[in-house]
Amino acid sequence: MKIDIFGSEQEVALYHDLVNQICEDFFGVLNLKTDILIGFHFVDDERIKDLNCQHRQICTPTDVLSFPLWNSLDELPKEGSVNLGDVFVNLGHVEANAKNDNKELKEEFIHIIKHSLNHLIGKHH
């Protein structure tokens, strides 16, 4: 599994291990034989608002956006490397969600990463 994380040095340092662990746990359960590639991008309100507006026509900031390259797990090649897509995380929004929901930041972060991974494999709500 190859996870690329983009953001400030501090964000990458703080969340690198946790993102990798969440992904390993998530994909370990699925027992995929392919080598998974995912890009995680830590962005601010302005950047995620622009992405949300451009791709969903909702011109407000949000906590996370997923951009899958596949519609479902059934479409994935059975071997080799597979790029599942990119995830954009707005940590400021995640922190606000945690505070509003009376949750620990780590708990909320894990929730949104798992949520985004489900979108990358074609599970939508």
pLDDT digits (tens, 9 = 90+) for 13-65: 999 999 999 999 999 888 777 889 999 999 999 999 999 999 999 999 999 99
**Mind listing the pLDDT tens digit for each residue in 111-124?**
999 999 999 998 87
* Residue at 76 is within a domain: yes
Evaluate whether residue 101 is within a structural domain.
Answer: yes
Q: Is 17 inside any structural domain?
A: yes
Please give the Cα distance from 82 to 4 (Å, whole number): 14
Q: How many domains does the chain have?
A: 1
Does 78 score more than 90 pLDDT?
no
Q: 48: Cβ–Cβ under 8 A, 6 or more apart, which residues?
A: 61, 62, 65, 88, 90, 93
Residue 116 lies in a domain: yes
Q: Which residues are paired to 41 by β-bridges?
A: 6, 88
Describe the crossing of helices 105-120 and 9-30 by its angle, rounded to 10 degrees. 60
Tokens 């479902």 correspond to 72
19 inside domain: yes
User: Which range marks the domain in which residue 111 is found?
Assistant: 2-120
Residues 86 and 112: their CA atoms lie apart, in Å, by 14
SS3 content of the chain, % helix, strand, coil (to 5): 50, 20, 30
Q: What is the CATH number of the domain that holds 40?
A: 3.40.390.30
Looking at the domain assignment, is residue 125 inside a domain?
A: no
Helix ranges, 31-104 (H): 45-56, 91-100
Residue 88 confidence (pLDDT): 98
Q: How far apart are CA 63 and CA 109, in angstroms?
A: 10
